[in-house]
Structure 1
């Protein structure tokens, strides 16, 4: 019984193991084998007939003809020399590999990328500026938004990778991506907790340090009235006004600026009638446009 045997070597006559060999013909089913560590292979006991033996290594395929004659007792030897030829990278190969074979993946990534670009770059960032980022609330909001969009995009990409990709290292790549996503979620949670926690503290502190007018004192000397007092709480600076009723007895103060909330003004007495009394009203707004009002008891301007 004759066999079909041979060896597979490279251009330097070095044996090539693990080369696929295909035997077709003789009226039987195709046979497949691999070359051994010394490059040898063997198809045992093929029937009488004509055959085609193919050696396949990557994209390099070599075909040779072989024959088993009736009554043949010696092996038919078919040797292969695999000469690797450099392959040119064609645009059609790139198209088939990265578009046709994975069109769904890249289409989905394109959609995610466009949403990210439009929402973040087109929709929000043009409204920001370095001057606005000096504001703590604006900076915190921008950072929270950026990390949130990045985290959601990362989750979508991981979901797509788990569904549409494969390979021996899929588990490693997915595990690494999951660790990165977990890290982003932790950062996002920390930022959100810090942001809203700080906001609650700010509101609480604002409630405790409310806007108020401390004791205001008046003293009359001759035809003048000295007003002194203090505005506390709220947000500096302050703008205030002092008026008196009935009108026409003393002068008034309008839109007076105070950086530290101190009130100290001198009003002139216009009516010299003895025993005249007036009621003073101090009102104004702080830096956050919150209003305050204080009214005195009747005060005699002319003793």
Structure 2
């Protein structure tokens, strides 16, 4: 007896389509079925694109982490050797220096701190065609994968990562956290991103309760004027804002798109360039997404500015 089946795909990566299952005996003397089996849904998470950065995040504020703080404290990186003071731990005594000077000296270190990285994903629009991993991807595909890669890098190195999805359909927020478990929760939230235009946002709540020293990373195609206005407002409020542009070479070239729509797209691209120039003048650092090392240069510049007291 042989078994056979037909599968009908549901069209979404998170669905297993309905299946017809049947059995046929030798010489087709007996036929059973086909019997329909209902489709099932399985949650899927976005695949994080390769990303790595050898530059520390600027303005660390937390009391734990691997970034070197500007103040002395309990840490792992050497700062200086100084005379012993009341309250110093005995394990920090530098015996070679103490024996040479006949006075107790201790080894001081820089405190290890972490930073808060606030990811903001723009899901207001989805441009281009989405055909799966390894093929053509839309702007929302690239945004989700870029946000997952950035979140994985910072969360697994001990920094606190939060997430907000800008969408009129289902805006979501993930509170700050770190570690592999928090990264898994971040992937679950990113997997539920649905493109929809965002409703009007109250300017009083545009800061999202973010404290000074937070590194804000906005991942977007920056086609909507609203996300550019939000980025400029966050930068003017004193936060460090890095805008990651995932538009790339996306073009609306399709036989179903008529000439007026093509002209409107070109005009919008010209307006977008002008708006981006204004946003960068407001203090937002905009970089195109190119995978590994995309944020190295801008983070290095922000770190230098922070150490010089300019931010």
Q: Same fold (TM over 0.5)?
A: no
TM-score norm. by structure 1 comes to 0.23
Higher helix share: 1
The structure whose Rg is larger is 1
Higher strand share: 1
